[in-house]
Structure 1
Amino acid sequence: MLSIIIPAHNEAGHIDACLHSVLASTEPDTAQVIVAANGCKDDTVLRAQAFERVAQARGWQLEVLDLPAIGKVGALNQADQIAAHDMRVYLDADVTMDPDLLGQIKLALNTAQPRFVSGKMRLAPAKSWATRAYARIYDKVPFMTQGVPGAGLFAVNAAGRSKWDQFPTLIADDTFVRLTFSPDQRDAMKAGYDWPLVEGFFALVKVRRRQNAGVAEVGRKFPHLLENDDKLHLSFGQKLRMGVRDPLGMLVYGAVAVIVKLTPQRDTSWERGR
């Protein structure tokens, strides 16, 4: 069976859609869902608790932890302590998934070999012009089109979870876990999930800066994991062709990248960036 762990910090605007998609899954028959709400100043906890009857009606267990402001990593570790099942799904509270995804994940994790599993990652429709333009290019970079990114949603089996103890204090928990597995230990399912980008140019800069800082932090603290990094980069020719086809998209994407490079993040705190 699966334990589905959802860390949440002030996610009142997203937790309803997230839990609705989780509880609308066609499989498994039984599962444990843990919403680890940390430092919430909105009604995330109450909204999550409102799904308890829905979970019970289909034979699932929903637990909502109302935690102090211990950060995302602290929330993950607290939820892991009460997770009842060896197969773990880690899910951001602003993600929604296809009904078939959990069933496919469960089948893929049913092995004695360590596995890192995710779904087909889709960028959710954006509202702002800057984010729409950025997304058109980001959706075509190798990180999105090749391999198993696992951003916003990843799952591991018992052998996979045994690769690390507690989540270390890092910005990029998903990058740390993904690189703990070699490329041949990662699987992408056919079913997918929607992962939203932040809205607006300056929010994109803020989040991209944090993402870059998170990857760099993993490299500093766990340099041996870099041997598992199969991330490819766009060639000059690919960038040129993208720019010809979508000049506005490439302008926004490139501007974000340049600003981030010129003003790197020094603070290693975790924040969503909305």
Structure 2
Amino acid sequence: ATETGGKLNALQLGDDAARADIRIYLDADVSVSRALIPAIIAALETEAPRYASGTPEIAPAQSPVTRAYARFWQKLPFVSNGVPGFGLFAVNAPGRARWQAWPDIISDDTFARLNFAPSERVRVPETYRWPMIEGLSGLIRVRRRQDRGVKEIGEKFPGLLKNADPAASSGTGKLKAILRDPLGFVVYGFIALCVRLPGGKGDWARGR
């Protein structure tokens, strides 16, 4: 136990205690494949600053809403082709030197990722499994918090926005995704709409 609670304080305490050059930040409810950690270490064994993560898999959901949302969400280019790092990300020593102490922010994974240009991020094919929150209200609450976290970084660290991921996809690509999974798109779009409606502060909740 520590006098100061919170995830960011825990990350800082871990960094202060760590002696290895490579730092792997892993959420408690994430499970990794046997080959993932060696693959990440190999990807980060360079003198150049690097950020790395594995290939995410969403754990099987119980609620129909979460299943539909997750199914469509996993097809988004940010998730399917990028290096999102939700639940698990890692940096080498030159990469960790990009910032000092962890700032008091909502989205630590977004902050870490945006300290690196897209060309400095490495996605290894080995997988890890990440659970998504169940149910409509939970998804809305978490998505609202996620959006607030991205907005906060833009306000506090505007210089990091230059490292934002490239534009997601073309209109044709989006249309194909919708046609492949119209129900998933409806659920995803409905939640995105609800997030933008006034009201609701979105208390902290696990998942995205």
Q: Which bracket does the TM-score occupy, shorter chain normalised?
A: over 0.9
Would you say 1:127 and 2:62 are equivalent positions? yes
User: 1:271/1:169 Cα in 2 relative to 1: closer, same or farther (>3 Å)?
Assistant: farther
Letter of the 1:272 partner, please give it. R
Cα distance, 1:74 vs. partner? Answer: 1.1
Cα distance, 1:153 vs. partner? Answer: 0.5
- Decide whether the 8 Å contact of 1:117 with 1:187 is kept in 2: yes
2:112 equivalent among 161, 164, 177: 177
1:112 equivalent among 31, 47, 59: 47
Cα distance, 1:67 vs. partner? Answer: 3.1
Cα distance, 1:125 vs. partner? Answer: 1.1
Cα distance, 1:75 vs. partner? Answer: 1.1
Partner Cα separation in structure 1 for residue 8 and residue 74 of structure 2 = 27
Higher alpha-carbon Rg: 1
**Structure with the largest fraction of strand:** 1
- The CA RMSD measured in Å over matched residues stands at 2.0
Partner Cα separation in structure 2 for residue 235 and residue 261 of structure 1 = 23
User: 1:273/1:229 Cα in 2 relative to 1: closer, same or farther (>3 Å)?
Assistant: closer
Q: Superposition pairs for residues 196-207 of structure 1, below 5 Å?
A: 196-207=131-142
How many pairs does the alignment contain?
A: 208
User: 1:136/1:200 Cα in 2 relative to 1: closer, same or farther (>3 Å)?
Assistant: same
Any idea what the Cα deviations from partners look like across 1:85-115, whole Å, max 9, x if unmatched? Answer: 1210000111111100111111111111101
Partner Cα separation in structure 2 for residue 125 and residue 272 of structure 1 = 16
Residue of structure 2 equivalent to 1:151: 86
1:246 equivalent among 171, 181, 192: 181
* Greater CA drift, 164-173 or 226-235: 226-235
User: 1:231/1:132 Cα in 2 relative to 1: closer, same or farther (>3 Å)?
Assistant: farther
Residue of structure 2 equivalent to 1:139: 74
Residue of structure 2 equivalent to 1:209: 144
The secondary structure found in structure 2 opposite 1:197 is coil
The secondary structure found in structure 2 opposite 1:133 is helix
Partner Cα separation in structure 2 for residue 77 and residue 96 of structure 1 = 22
1:83 equivalent among 4, 11, 18: 18
Partner Cα separation in structure 1 for residue 170 and residue 198 of structure 2 = 23
Partner Cα separation in structure 1 for residue 124 and residue 200 of structure 2 = 33
Higher relative contact order structure (alpha carbons within 8 Å, sequence separation ≥ 6):
2
Would you say 1:92 and 2:27 are equivalent positions? yes
Residue of structure 2 equivalent to 1:190: 125
Cα distance, 1:136 vs. partner? Answer: 1.1
> Percent same amino acid at aligned positions?
49
Gaps of 5+ in 2: none
